A and B are shown apart, each in its own frame.
Chain A
Amino acid sequence: MKTEEEIFNLLKENFNDDIMELVKQPVDHYILCNPLKINEISLFLLSNEELLFDSLMNLSGVDDANGTSTIKEGITTIEGGTLSVYYHLESTKFRHKIILRISTPREKPEAASVALVWRSADWHEREAFDLLGIIFLNHPDLRRILMPYDWDAGYPLRKDYANPEFYHGMKVPY
């Protein structure tokens, strides 16, 4: 059983610059990481004998919508800002938990895939790719999972997403 501070310090020793900060919140603290090194950090968390984070409880993508948004003719466009991914980890042996967060720029949302570290991340990453357009590098099979394969109107859970007028000749808006 380790606290968030201990885990953060252990990570900081091994990956000094790739671990940015421990963000404290009233309930869940999280560790901000480098999105392109998240696979190595994950592997360390999984295989370190004092940590053994063997369970990825959840992996969720978030559109932070912290860029500059402009509304023109009812269409919102957001420029700049970040898309984030949260990793909720648990060790079934030591019973400690940790939350990791990575933030990628909205224009080029790329993060390393952890699907080879935890197999449960496979479909979660596909979902984050499907709905938010976060590209997971080295993912074994990065296809859309919920939306149709030929959906070309963008990523629906982004805050500036606009529904297309038609899909295969079917009117989409109400």
Chain B
Amino acid sequence: MLTEFGKIFVFLLVAVIFVIALVIVAWLIRPSRPTKEKLMTYECGENPEGSPWVKFNIRFYVVALIFLIFDVEVVLLIPWALVYRQFGLGGFMVGAIFLIMLGLGMAYEWRKGDLEWERAKIIPPVIKRPVFSSKETREAEPVKSKQLV
């Protein structure tokens, strides 16, 4: 007789075999008419420029990591929220400590500037526009016409 884990194993086996069988059957019967256009990288109809294997900015890594931490936080907090009444003050304290530690970590990240996204420097415009002060009187900076060309 199968044990409980054995039943789960059968389920897993059926799932894997089912998926593999579907892929093979689809591969056998589907029409396959590849063309050069069809195999081209999809760029919304534009001509693809360069390799699609571009490097992503390393700063996305930090954002992803922070997202992951708070994602896990939600996963851990939902079961805790369901049962914390049964555990009274002790249960509440456990959750609170967890949240405080997370908050401290967040504050640390913020303080270290990991949430900042440094931008490239904006190239200043060639012509100086008239500078309007916040007061009623707006005055123009005199601009020499030689700067134009």
Number of A-B contacts (CB under 8 A): 35
In the complex the two chains form, is B148's CB within 8 Å of A46's CB? no
In the complex the two chains form, is A93's CB within 8 Å of B127's CB? no
The CA of A28 and the CA of B120, in the complex, are separated in Å by 45
Task: Pick out which of these stretches binds chain B: A36-44, A79-87, A96-104.
Answer: A36-44
Give the contacting residue for A49; candidates B126, B139, B148; CB below 8 A. Answer: B139
Give the contacting residue for B138; candidates A43, A93, A116, A117; CB below 8 A. Answer: A93
In the complex the two chains form, is A117's CB within 8 Å of B140's CB? no
Does chain B have a CB within 8 A of A54?
Answer: yes
| Cβ of A119 to closest chain B Cβ, rounded Å | 7
The CA of A39 and the CA of B147, in the complex, are separated in Å by 11
In the complex the two chains form, is B130's CB within 8 Å of A46's CB? yes
Does chain A have a CB within 8 A of B149?
Answer: yes
Does chain A have a CB within 8 A of B141?
Answer: yes
Closest to B141 in A: A47
In the complex the two chains form, is A138's CB within 8 Å of B149's CB? yes
In the complex the two chains form, is B143's CB within 8 Å of A47's CB? yes
Which range contains the number of A residues in contact with the other chain?
A: 10 to 19
Size of the chain B interface, CB-CB below 8 angstroms: 15
| Cβ of B49 to closest chain A Cβ, rounded Å | 14
22 examples of A-B residue contacts, CB within 8 angstroms: A39-B148, A39-B149, A44-B145, A46-B129, A46-B130, A46-B140, A46-B143, A47-B130, A47-B140, A47-B141, A47-B143, A48-B140, A49-B139, A52-B130, A52-B138, A52-B140, A54-B130, A93-B132, A93-B138, A116-B126, A116-B127, A117-B127
| Cβ of B28 to closest chain A Cβ, rounded Å | 37
| B residues in contact with A119, CB < 8 Å | 125
Does chain A have a CB within 8 A of B142?
Answer: yes
In the complex the two chains form, is B130's CB within 8 Å of A43's CB? no
Closest to A44 in B: B145
| B residues in contact with A40, CB < 8 Å | 145, 148
Give the contacting residue for A43; candidates B132, B139, B141, B145; CB below 8 A. Answer: B145
Closest to A51 in B: B140
